[in-house]
Amino acid sequence: MDSTFSLREFIDINKDVLPERVKVTGGVQCGEDEDLPTGTVLDLHSVHVKQINLVYKEKGRKIENRIAIHESNPTKFQILDYHPVGHVYTTVKDLIEVCPFVVKCNKTWRSDDGAILLEKDEILKLIRLVVGKNWQRFLECKLVRQMKLVQLPMDCEGHFTAKKLNNFYTVSDLVHQFPKERKLKLVKGDVIDERNQIPGLPLDGLVTMLTPDLEVEYSMKEYPGDRHRLGVNTDMTVSPRPDDYIGDVLNYIDLNGFVEKNKKLFPIRAKVHDWDEITSITEHLNIRPGMQIDIHGYHDERMKFLLWCDGDYFIIPSSYQGRFRACPKQINSVEDLLKHNGDRVLVVKEAKYMPYDSVNVGDILDLTRRRLSHLEKVERGKHHRDAEVEVLLCTKESPGAMYSIPVSLPTFMEGVFEPIPKDTTLYSITNAHAVYKRGSQFELVRPDPRFEDILPQNTRITLDFCIREPEIMISLVDDKMAMHLPTRTDIQVSFMTQIQHKNVKLAELDSAPEKLSAERYNELAAQDHDYETVDYEIVNTFPRMVVDGDNQIYTDGASLPRSLPGRKEVSTLPPVPTQKKHNPQVSKSLSFSNIDQPPPVPLRQHRLKKTLSQVDQGYVEPIKSQTSPTCLKAKDPEGDDEYNYVDEEEVADILKEMGQKFKGNQHVIHECHTTIPDDGNLYNFTIEQMADFFKQQNIEDSVIQQMKAAHLDGKAFSKLSDDQLKRYGLDKQGTHMQLFRNLSRKKTHLFSKFLTFSKK
Are residues 80 and 165 in contact, defined by beta-carbon separation less than 8 angstroms?
Answer: no
Report which DSSP code applies to 267. Answer: S
Give alpha helix (H) positions in 332-381.
334-339
- The domain spans of the chain are 5-48+215-248, 57-206, 256-318+465-555, 331-419, 605-657, 670-739
pLDDT, averaged across the chain: 74
Is the pLDDT at 717 greater than 70, yes or no?
yes
Give the largest Cα separation in the chain, rounded: 106
600-603: Cβ within 8 A, 24+ apart: 600/434, 600/573, 600/574, 600/576, 600/632, 600/634, 601/634, 602/633, 602/634, 602/643, 602/644, 602/645, 602/646, 603/645, 603/646, 603/651
Report pLDDT digits (tens) over 486-506: 999 999 999 999 999 888 999
Rounded to an integer, the average pLDDT of 607-611 is 41
pTM: 0.61
Lowest-pLDDT range of 101-115, 133-147, 180-194, 335-349: 180-194
SS3 508: helix
pLDDT in tens, 28-66: 765 544 578 888 899 999 999 999 999 998 877 778 889
- Give residue-wise pLDDT tens across range 639-683: 444 334 445 455 455 545 554 444 444 434 344 456 777 666 778
Q: Which CATH number fits domain 670-739: 1.10.3470, 1.10.1060, 1.10.150, 1.10.238?
A: 1.10.150
CA–CA distance, 725 with 723 (Å, rounded to integer): 5
Answer yes or no: are the C-beta atoms of 395 and 406 closer than 8 Å: yes
Most confident of 426-430, 608-612, 745-749: 426-430
The band of 407, judged by pLDDT with boundaries at 50, 70 and 90, is: confident
- CATH code: domain 5-48+215-248 is 2.30.30
Whether pLDDT at 306 is above 90: yes
Q: Give the integer Cα–Cα distance in Å for 229 and 241.
A: 20
Whether the predicted pLDDT of 113 surpasses 80? no
Q: Find the range with the poorest average confidence among 71-85, 242-256, 653-667.
A: 653-667
Kindly report, residue by residue over 557-599, the tens digit of the pLDDT: 433 333 333 333 333 333 333 444 444 444 333 333 333 444 4
What pLDDT, on a 0 to 100 scale, did the predictor assign at position 217?
Answer: 93
With bands split at pLDDT 50, 70 and 90, how would you rate the model's confidence at 756? Answer: low
Q: What is the reported pLDDT for 660?
A: 41
Rounded Cα–Cα distance for residues 141 and 542 (Å): 36
| pLDDT computed for residue 529 by the predictor | 63
Tell me whether domains 5-48+215-248 and 670-739 share a fold.
no
Q: H or E stretch including 237?
A: strand 237-240
Phi, psi (rounded to 5 degrees) for 403: -150, 165
Instruction: Say what the alpha-carbon torsion angle 185, 189, 191, 193 is, to the nearest 10 degrees.
Output: 70
Question: How big is the CA angle at 714 (ends 709 and 717), to the nearest 5 degrees?
Answer: 65
Q: What is the CA radius of gyration of the chain?
A: 33
